[in-house]
């Protein structure tokens, strides 16, 4: 939470140290009674945990309160009573305690609000809503980064498994297309081998079994028979095609069956609509 607010307000990570933090806008927000009461620290199994209940609306309220407590600018001190949004705008523009990033973001929000809403009372409320939305988006950024890292790790693990098992999708498709009569061959060879069931240890039956395995192996794994077929002519094209097949298999494994079922359902629906038309 502390790092998120520091990044959001554009304040240096060096201010993360306690002595420096209390002088920042982030430190004033975190030390406010509203935020302190929303954070619960408890102990479980000799470990301390922090339960943060700071909602975007609460953050917006506290930030506005901190901004309103900042010393007014000299121009504002000489003037008569001004509207709340004008007071905030002047404080934001001239206060040296605000970072350039925070100043630019707040000025942009105020400019958009004053262009749309003429009522001064509603302007402050809309500014609070804008700040709350801004904070909510900032909280979602770490989760997006986490999901991206999770996908990258998932793809990396899938790629390692695919290479270890030598699951080349392009090679599998090519082998299936070449062996259109694979099922018939297997059945025919199985019938021929049945005559040797009483003498499975004989050289003749062993030779037949070996020949059957050579012709009907599944086109995966690093089995010598599979490797001889897959890399019969070792060239740059074959290597690139194999890497492409591994990447395709890794993508399929990483995405999961649910993803591909949804793709097939959408594809089936599109093809169905085209057939009806």
User: How far is residue 22 from each of residues 17, 31, 62, 117, 156, measured CA to CA in Å?
Assistant: 9, 8, 15, 35, 43
Question: Domains in the chain: how many in total?
Answer: 2
Domain that holds residue 201: 166-269
Same domain, 134 and 176: no
Same domain, 247 and 124: no
> Which stretches of the chain drop beneath a pLDDT of 50?
49
Name every residue whose Cβ is closer than 8 Å to that of residue 55 and which is 6 or more positions away in sequence.
38, 132
Residue 62, domain member (yes or no):
yes
Same domain, 83 and 52: yes
Same domain, 207 and 262: yes
Question: What does the pLDDT read at residue 128?
Answer: 93
Same domain, 50 and 101: yes
Residue 240, domain member (yes or no):
yes
Q: How many CB atoms lie within 10 A of CB 262?
A: 11
Last residue of a domain, one of 115, 146, 177: 146
Residue 151, domain member (yes or no):
no
Residue 191, domain member (yes or no):
yes
User: How far is residue 134 from each of residues 57, 127, 149, 190, 208, measured CA to CA in Å?
Assistant: 10, 10, 24, 69, 72
Cβ proximity of 129 and 63 under 8 Å: no
Question: What does the pLDDT read at residue 54?
Answer: 80
Question: What does the pLDDT read at residue 214?
Answer: 59
Distance of CA 264 to the CA centre of its chain: 23
Question: What does the pLDDT read at residue 182?
Answer: 56
In whole angstroms, give the CA distance from residue 272 to residue 277.
Answer: 9
Cβ proximity of 219 and 230 under 8 Å: yes
Same domain, 193 and 124: no
Residue 155, domain member (yes or no):
no
Q: What is the reported pTM?
A: 0.50
Residue 277, domain member (yes or no):
no
In whole angstroms, give the CA distance from residue 8 to residue 138.
Answer: 7
Sign, Cα dihedral of 129, 131, 136, 140: positive
User: By three-state DSSP, how is residue 180 classified?
Assistant: coil
Question: What does the pLDDT read at residue 153?
Answer: 83
Residue 168: burial class (beta carbons within 10 Å; 0-12, 13-18, 19+): buried
Question: What does the pLDDT read at residue 61?
Answer: 92
Last residue of a domain, one of 98, 118, 146: 146
Sign, Cα dihedral of 162, 168, 170, 175: negative
Same domain, 241 and 135: no
Question: What does the pLDDT read at residue 132?
Answer: 92
Question: What does the pLDDT read at residue 73?
Answer: 67
User: By three-state DSSP, how is residue 50 classified?
Assistant: strand
Residue 96, domain member (yes or no):
yes
- DSSP designation for 73: P
In whole angstroms, give the CA distance from residue 29 to residue 131.
Answer: 14
Among 163, 104, 159, 158, which Cα is nearest to 134's?
104
Same domain, 102 and 175: no
Question: Can you say whether residue 15 is alpha, beta or left, with left for phi > 0 and alpha for psi between -120 and 50 degrees?
Answer: alpha
């Amino acid at each position: 939470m502390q790092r998120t607010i520091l990044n959001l307000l554009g304040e240096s990570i060096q201010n993360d140290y306690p002595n420096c933090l209390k002088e920042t806008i982030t430190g004033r927000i975190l030390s406010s009674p509203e935020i302190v009461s929303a954070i619960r620290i408890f102990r479980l199994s000799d470990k301390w945990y922090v339960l943060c209940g700071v909602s975007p609306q609460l953050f917006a309220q506290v930030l506005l309160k901190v901004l309103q407590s900042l010393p007014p600018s000299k121009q504002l001190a000489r003037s008569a009573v001004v509207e709340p949004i004008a007071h905030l705008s002047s404080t934001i523009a001239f206060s040296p305690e605000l970072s350039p990033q925070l100043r630019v973001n707040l000025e942009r929000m105020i400019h958009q609000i004053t262009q749309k809403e003429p009522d001064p009372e509603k302007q402050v409320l809309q500014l609070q809503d804008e700040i709350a939305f801004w904070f909510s988006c900032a909280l979602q950024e770490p989760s997006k980064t986490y999901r991206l890292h999770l996908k990258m790790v998932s793809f990396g693990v899938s790629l390692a498994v695919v290479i270890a098992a030598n699951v080349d999708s392009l090679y599998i498709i090519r082998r299936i297309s070449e062996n259109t009569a694979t099922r018939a061959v297997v059945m025919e060879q199985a019938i021929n081998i049945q005559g040797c069931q009483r003498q499975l240890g004989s050289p003749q039956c062993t030779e037949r079994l070996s020949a059957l395995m050579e012709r009907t192996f599944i086109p995966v794994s690093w089995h010598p028979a599979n490797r001889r077929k897959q890399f019969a002519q070792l060239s740059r094209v074959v290597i690139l095609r194999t890497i492409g097949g591994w990447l395709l298999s890794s993508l399929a494994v990483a995405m999961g069956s649910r993803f591909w079922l949804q793709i097939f359902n959408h594809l089936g629906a599109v093809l169905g609509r085209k057939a009806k038309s």
